[in-house]
Structure 1
Amino acid sequence: MSNSQFTPGVASGRLAADDYARNFGDIAPRLEPHEARVAADRCYFCHDAPCMTACPTSIDIPLFIRQISTGTPEAAARTIFSQNILGGMCARVCPTEQLCEEACVRETAEGKPVEIGRLQRYATDSLMEAGVHPFARAEQTGKKVAVVGAGPAGLSAAHRLAMKGHDVVVYDARAKAGGLNEYGIASYKAPGSFAANEVQWLLKIGGIRIENGKSLGDGLALDSLKQDFDAVVLAVGLAGVNALRAEGEGLGNVLNAVDFIAELRQQPDKAKLNVGRDVVVIGGGMTAVDAAVQSKLLGAENVTIAYRRGREKMSASTDEQDHATGVGVRILHNVAPVRVVGNGAAQEVEFAYTEDGPSGLKLSSETFRLKADQVMKAIGQTLSGQPEGLKLEGGKIAVTGTGRTSVPGVWAAGDCASGGEDLTVTAVAEGRDAAEDIHASLMG
């Protein structure tokens, strides 16, 4: 990042055009064919591969890496897509360092795992860029399924259902399909229009229609969907944002990190985006890291992530945390916001130190303040509203087995469903498995 002249307060155009292009370019470009072959040759092709067990979608990792090593990346892609139809995006955003690569035998023995994520991207990109869709629909069943939510879980469910021969209508509240893949990840992880292109590629299976601008309570009613369709999948994600519960939260320039990221994702000209000089992001997950890093890349001088517990409790991976500090983001642990200070708009955030003991989190009487002309909340998301008649568990839709809800004929998958971790790859697995269960149920 250049030493461009900064403007005071929250402003746009802090950097030179070349800075934006460099800062928001592809953070991990695809491997070249020779690089992929070399990386694949490091795999031991374990019979009882721990990497495969660690993958939420159970991709046959040794098989697809062997296919790359023998010069057939398209076959490798089919192996991946048979388990994870959004394997292209997952190769970019999945925390492989916490999942398959952490379980890799090479990681255990040498501290350097096989680059599974980058190899997955090499394979999936090879097939997708060829414009090939590796699957065909089964004979049509005459059954219709509604999917509410066009994020990873909804798209995964829709594709598997269509592949089984069912007709699927996907409803989504936003103008574009893709959910968090389109609106919620850091731009440098999937630059350009990859998320939108992936949706169009997925739709090549046929039998799926997407209707935008419709959500439960706004154009859709669960009872009506149950009457009009043979099954319903709820994959609505978590649209609500937790409150800080701190004085001054309503001041200007206190915003939700997810909204900041969504705006950034949809703006091709990053120079038009406003960012503060002193940015404070409150939270400890991937959203917090993505918001903080991108604030820095937009030209913020000082960016701080403030988290109420210790480093080991942060849900953002160690690699993500290291990436944040590597671009100049400061991370403070064991601090909690108690007040946002300002005159109409945020100027400072007052924090109290915390102690995380056996009886829970306690705030000390010792406080300090950080300058902040922009404050972002990244402290978790919640289910927006309560879908009609559905039992909840822990603030999410209660499910049993492979996504069955308390209402017959209605399944739920992804972040909105109880159980699994809030990861793209987990959502894909849950959508796929719900679709398989729906198919079995519909076909008797």
Structure 2
Amino acid sequence: MKIAFVTPWYGPDIPGGAEAEARQIIAHLHNAGYEVEVLTTCIRDFFAPWEKNYHKPGVEIVQGIPVYRFAVTPRDKIAFDSVNQKLMLGKRVTLAEEEIFANEMFRSPDLLNYIQSHCQDYLFFFIPYVFPSTYFGSQICPQHSIIIPCLHNEAYAYMELFQSVISNVNTLVFNVPSEQALAEKIYGPRQGQQRRVIGLGVNTDFVGDAARFRQKHRLNEPFMLYAGRRAAGKNVPLLLRYWAQYAQENHRDAKLVLIGPGEVPIPPTAVPHIVDLGFVPQQDKYDAYAAADVFCMPSVNESFSIVTMEAWLAETPVLVHGRCQVTRDHCRFSNGGLYFNNYPEFAHTLDYLFTHPAEARQMGRNGRAYVLQNYQWPDIIAKYTQIITRIRAEVEGQS
């Protein structure tokens, strides 16, 4: 029985935390000897039009992994956007609106038909929870299905249509204990369903060159780094507002360095104090982690935060939003960073990190030790092996 990862889109360089998580799990399972395939759509990535087939349908080999791409069909984008706007504002929607959300986000009947006709051939891993590939796909053969939800405390998670989907699959896999606690709170317990916190392995082999990054980008000032998608869902507009105010109120000659895709308006008063690099090669990102005085993750919707772990591996302290329990817990458990809930706390903690370099560096070292102790790939894959072995035995026992 093969392993299939079902994702909304797939590629070696596409941005996004869940996207990177899927790629890394797939690669490490493949290296461990499992026969792994990817079932996905022809959509390019999160930022592309979800009704456009960027890739050709069919199978291609991507970094040694067979990737089956299925076409998407036309959708009612206006209807979807209307519902999604409410959800982005944290509003509840009706069941009829939920159905619009699921049906008009994107459609790929060929993907679902393939799952249906190959139900007995695979164990299906669906990631993340919020897309139609998971919502519809995991209902086809739930006892062969594992969802890695990447769950956030957001309006989407409380939609009624996800209740039965989340509760009826064979197994749920979580990245951190607080994610599992959130699932228990929203969906309640489910007798017979396996729920496990596995976490995510992190590439611990990279080496960042701080001097190379500062020389390349002519950065002599202390700086705070943000790496990730520029999106409202990542709370980047808040970070930019806070930084604009901080730069005006403090005469410190510091910069905010932005790395990653997406477009978010930068407040005019903040422009002189921001270095916007956009999408950079992976090694440049590693160099940036090493060069930064502090790394900031302002998102309140994280289920793990790979970039936070990468910053810690470079021994850089982190500053996170206190409303995100996942990253706040990472900081508490590791003593590797600080958190803020409002602008005064943001300014105070940032001042502390900039003016106490010895203490800040010790936080960074604490963070690195935490990552190495908890998120090494051999340990993570051993836990996935336990799940795969158990479900295969269950399936064989039923046949």
TM-score (norm 2): 0.31
